[in-house]
Amino acid sequence: MQDERIIDLFFERSEEAILALEQKYGKLCRQISANILGDSGAVEECLNDSWLGVWNVIPPQKPRHLGSFVCRIVRNLSLKRYRRDSAQKRNSQFDTALEELQDCLQGGFSAERQLEQKELVKSIEGFLDSLSKENRVIFLRRYWFSDSYEAIAKRTGRSEKAISVRLVRLREKLRTYLIERGMLE
């Protein structure tokens, strides 16, 4: 079913909208949540909360890109659940991905500077626009979707070692990019 039709079903307040959303984006959303949470029970709860969240915001909102809209809701709810559940335990795949990116940003990035979020987002979007399609996919699969090196390697047809090296270079390139724009020292 086309995204526009699914959105129309939400505006009609038809329960079929949730079923269509689950059918079209369920697998992707499940993967995003599982990469963050790692627990299938928590993933299912998060997905149910996400479907309810979409139901509550459409209408009045009418997203231009339904897939991105839904994935963002799932990711945000998964992160919220992760933070709540991980006070005393650690999810190595997700934590490792965050630590990799944090190492890239360490140094001049401090709470005292309180960079405007919009400026940082704009800079990162500019960085992503400067990358080749393959590098952008690798970067986003790791740091937005929280995919493992193995999953990215399978998706791109590269070895895990090649993905690891590529990500190191991309993080350094991001760091240089942000320094050049005055976002880091």
Q: Which two tokens stand for residue 136?
A: 């952008």
Are 149 and 168 in contact by the 8 Å Cβ rule? The answer is no
Query: Which residues of the chain form beta strands (DSSP E)?
Result: none
Q: Is residue 56 located within the same domain as residue 31?
A: yes
Query: Quick check: is 7 in a domain?
Result: yes
pLDDT value, residue 1: 86
Q: Is residue 81 located within the same domain as residue 106?
A: no
Q: Is residue 67 located within the same domain as residue 140?
A: no
Residue where one domain finishes, among candidates 38, 58, 85: 85
> Which residue range forms the structural domain that includes residue 81?
3-85
Quick: pLDDT tens for 58-105.
Answer: 989 999 999 999 999 999 999 888 888 775 555 556 666 666 666 565
Q: Is residue 10 located within the same domain as residue 73?
A: yes
Q: Is residue 100 located within the same domain as residue 151?
A: yes
Q: Contacts by 100-108 with C-beta closer than 8 Å and gap 24+?
A: 100/142, 100/143, 100/167, 100/171, 101/143, 101/171, 103/171, 104/171, 104/172, 104/174, 104/175, 105/174, 105/175, 105/178, 105/184, 107/175, 107/184, 107/185, 108/179, 108/183, 108/184, 108/185
pLDDT value, residue 145: 86
Query: Quick check: is 34 in a domain?
Result: yes
Q: Is residue 169 located within the same domain as residue 100?
A: yes
Residue where one domain finishes, among candidates 69, 85, 101: 85
CATH number of the domain encompassing residue 12: 1.10.1740
Instruction: Tally the domains of the chain.
Output: 2
Query: Quick check: is 185 in a domain?
Result: no
Query: Quick check: is 172 in a domain?
Result: yes
Q: Is residue 99 located within the same domain as residue 172?
A: yes
How many Å apart are CA 21 and CA 161, to the nearest integer? Answer: 36
CATH number of the domain encompassing residue 163: 1.10.10
Residue carrying structure tokens 């939400």: 10
Quick: pLDDT tens for 130-159.
Answer: 999 999 999 999 988 889 999 999 999 999
| Closest listed residue to residue 127, CA positions, set 175, 166, 93 | 175
Q: Is residue 110 located within the same domain as residue 47?
A: no
CA torsion sign for 3, 72, 37, 178 is: positive
| pTM over the 0.85 mark | no
Residue where one domain finishes, among candidates 85, 116, 141: 85
